[in-house]
Amino acid sequence: MASLLRAAATWGLFPWRGYCSRGTQGELSKGFVEALKAVVGSPHTSTAAADREQHGHDESMHRCQPPGVVVWPQNVEQVSRLAALCYSQGVPIIPFGTGTGLEGGVCAVQGGVCMNLTHMDRILKLNVEDFSVVVEPGVTRKTLNTYLRDSGLWFPVDPGADASLCGMAATAASGTNAVRYGTMRDNVLNLEVVLPGGRLLHTAGPGRHFRKSAAGYNLTGLFVGSEGTLGLITAATLRLHPAPEATVAATCAFPSVQAAMDTTVHILQAAVPLARIEFLDEVMMDACNRYGRLTCSVAPTLFLEFHGSERALAEQIERAEEISQHNGASHFFWAKEAEERSRLWAARHNAWYATLALRPGCKGYSTDVCVPISRLPEILVQTKEDLKASGLTGTIVGHVGDGNFHCILLADPEDAEELRRVKAFGEHLGRRALALHGTCTGEHGIGLGKRQLLQEEVGAVGIEIMRQLKAMLDPRGLMNPGKVL
Ligand SMILES: Cc1cc2nc3c(=O)[nH]c(=O)nc-3n(C[C@H](O)[C@H](O)[C@H](O)COP(=O)(O)OP(=O)(O)OC[C@H]3O[C@@H](n4cnc5c(N)ncnc54)[C@H](O)[C@@H]3O)c2cc1C
């Protein structure tokens, strides 16, 4: 515990703040916990230290105090009653999906009630002909795709973790397929949201699942990426896509980071309709080889994937190979069989854990900048040099087709100086991206760690409007306090 508090201090998290339903410091009153139990039942309420601890952090380095209580609502009515109860008592509410976030979004900086929504895990409605599906918050992306297997449809947004789809909506997540299929911002059609006081909102109107709309303000867009600070998402209507007729994946190694980046930009400029184009630096490739028992070259590498008809694929592959070879690529490896492809992509999706395995016992911190595609070669080459000069252990991996990449940096949680250097590196990189007209976060969100960078990114007026929107929906500031703003 002492080390957690030291780390919290190092990361400059919020101090504790009391509120009326607390008994002693850090605890909720017995009467309040009984009132929660009356809504969800005793088996779905826990004040056990292990449950609170487990729900007090995500996969990031951010640490603070755990929530005072964890509840597992079973349906939307219960979520609504819980929200009304918390709001009337001035108790913070923290929505919890699968806890795979990377920006401390579920940390209970002011204690309060953590609402774990994973027991609400039904797929409510599949509209095959309309290419849409309605899911509850406990459904994860892999569960949905298993369910869709025989329908000829799939959901392409694929963060490395098997996250909940509503958590993904809350963080505006994306993944390796975004270059072709877009992010959660492009694939959420409607959301059912319990607002802080308990009211129910359907952001596009109840039951609607149209492909386009010009009807008033975009409320769906407001809640995608709101990181649990505006309400609890209790159902999401998602856009589905036809499963591709054929798929081919490839990896190829490059003599330098610059050559790999030039290839990325040239392939995109040539309008080759890639499904995925991912970059891994040589340190990342080495880590993936060890972790995933691969034998790829230890060099800056692109992972590519093409979707389409057999004929279209042949053309796409030829064009991509030509451009890559022109930039000095070697060691092409083509994977056509499903098993081979999933082995390759499993290695890519395990990048986070492969990096952690480089220094057992250390925690990971992932930067997440995204820049206009033309500035990608420059920022990646500079970042690689900075990383070498910093003496930090870190890998680089990126969804480079979107201009988005991550440095996964390792630090000993007991070493305050190393934590400080990791934080400084992340901030410096964030500012470099802003200077190139990019963003400090392409997909992980602001959470606890990037609030200052958000201010620099959107400016004083942008922040003021965001604060006004938040105050209008959550006047008591109880929805996931301390995040984003
Ligand atoms: C190995 C690994 C790889 C990853 N790769 C990617 C990647 O490629 N792309 C990417 O975008 N992310 C990636 N992530 C980060 C993470 O998976 C995403 O941020 C994901 O969207 C979080 O979903 P979750 O259900 O785990 O949310 P949680 O971590 O539980 O919560 C995240 C935030 O959303 C809020 N929230 C959760 N559920 C709800 C809800 N129902 N209603 C309202 N608010 C809610 C929480 O309060 C919190 O602020 C990765 C994480 C790991 C560990």
pLDDT at 3 over 60: no
pLDDT tens figures, 282-319: 999 999 999 988 889 999 999 999 999 998 999 999 99
Question: Does ligand 1 come within 6 angstroms of the Cβ of 161?
Answer: yes
| Structure token pair of residue 389 | 């000069």
* Per-residue exposure over 175-195, b if at least 16 CB sit within 10 Å of its own CB, e if not: bbbbbbbbbbbebbbbbbbbb
Q: What is the DSSP string of 302-348?
A: EEEEEEE-HHHHHHHHHHHHHHHHHTT-EEEEEE-SHHHHHHHHHHH
Mean pLDDT, residues 8-37 taken together: 59
Beta carbons of 55 and 115 less than 8 angstroms apart:
no
Per-residue model confidence (pLDDT) at position 63: 84
Taking Cα atoms as reference points, which of 458, 454, 457, 451 lies closest to residue 480? 451
For a ligand 1 pocket test, name from 136, 171, 446 the mutation site with the most ligand atoms within 8 angstroms of its C-beta: 171
Nearest CA to ligand 1 atom 37: 167
Q: Is the pTM above the cut of 0.85? A: yes
Mean pLDDT along residues 376-404:
96
Q: Please tell me the distance from the alpha carbon of residue 450 to that of residue 370, in angstroms, as a whole number.
A: 14
Q: How many residues does the chain have?
A: 485
Round the average pLDDT of the chain to a whole number and report it. Answer: 93
Residue 21 confidence (pLDDT) above 50: no
The helix/strand/coil state of 130 is coil
Confidence of residue 64 (pLDDT cuts 50, 70, 90): confident
168 close to ligand 1 (CB < 6 Angstrom): yes
* Mutate which of 60, 102, 192, 203 for ligand 1 pocket (most atoms within 8 A of beta carbon): 102
- Does residue 26 sit in helix, strand or coil? coil
Q: ∠ CA 305-165-280 to the nearest 5 degrees?
A: 35
Ligand 1 within 6 A of 160 CB? yes
CB of 278 closer than 6 angstroms to any ligand 1 atom: no
pLDDT tops 70 at residue 17: no
**Percent above pLDDT 70 for the chain:** 95
10 Å Cβ neighbour count for 479?
26
Mean pLDDT across 461-481 = 98
Token pair 């500035």: residue: 375
**Percent of the chain residues topping a pLDDT of 90:** 89
* Rounded CA separation 120/448 (Å): 27
Tell the residue nearest (CA) to atom 22 of ligand 1.
101
19: nearest Cα among 11, 8, 27: 27
Q: Which atom of ligand 1 is nearest to the CA of 193?
A: 42
Q: What is the pLDDT of residues 397-454, one digit of tens each?
A: 999 999 999 999 999 999 999 999 999 999 999 999 999 999 999 999 999 999 999 9
Of the candidates 76, 158, 59, the one whose C-alpha atom is nearest the C-alpha of residue 117 is 76
Q: Is 94 in the pocket of ligand 1 (CB under 6 A)?
A: yes
Q: How confident is the model at residue 8 (pLDDT cuts 50, 70, 90)?
A: very low
Across the strands, what pairs with 126? Answer: 133
